[in-house]
Amino acid sequence: MALLALFLAVPQPSGLMATTLLARSDIAAFPKWTGMLGRYEAALQENAACPSAPAPCPLRDWRAFVKTLEKLDSRARLAAVNAHINALPYVADRRNWGVADYWETPFEFLAKGGDCEDFAIAKYLTLKATGVDPRRMRIVIVEDLERHEPHALLAVETKGTVLLLDNQTVRIAATSSRRYRALYSINEYGWWLHTLPRPGLSS
């Protein structure tokens, strides 16, 4: 049986910005996401990717940062990851890669900077490396209702509350924020189309 139903047509409260969900398990429709995951796993296996110190090595630097998170509680860990990743430079994909949209591994992001989904991906995979269950996290693609443009951030469920880690603020916000409208979200186990509740449905 598939991890998720092929398509669940019954709207469900999502806890993500008052939208309802249509869930699907096939993430192959998102090659930028699956391609990034493949490069990430390959990089973890390539010990030769890190030359001897003191030469720069994003993989070694990332592992050292992950090590600093081990003894933190869940909320302090989220805050540390959000602040550390947000301190890195925002660089558009066109400048970095010569294409309109490229989803970076954390190591590519540490080496070159990146745009909004790269911040979210780095947070997702860093938290996963500390033991956070990826089923409790999603990369969320949203419409920024203030800037009138697409944006990406990380949603993490912890102790029954969904929190947003956003490269535009160091503050970790609950999903009651009205700034964003969720469009879709994704993790390693599936993806979710977000729709506004129909009149008369509870959100």
Q: Is the pLDDT of residue 5 over 90?
A: no
pTM: 0.86
The domain ranges of the chain are: 20-46+57-195
Q: Are strands 173-174 and 161-165 parallel, antiparallel or unpaired?
A: antiparallel
Taking only Cα atoms into account, the Rg of the chain, rounded to an integer number of angstroms, comes to: 17
Residue 107: count other Cβ atoms within 10 Å of its Cβ. 22
CA distance 44 to 41: 5
Token pair listed for 140: 């969320």
- Please determine, for residue 14, whether its predicted confidence score (pLDDT) is greater than 60: no
Q: What is the pLDDT of residue 52?
A: 63
CATH class of 20-46+57-195: alpha beta
The answer to whether residue 150 scores a pLDDT higher than 80 is yes
Q: Where are the beta strands (DSSP E) in the chain?
A: 20-24, 137-144, 149-158, 161-165, 173-174, 180-186, 191-195
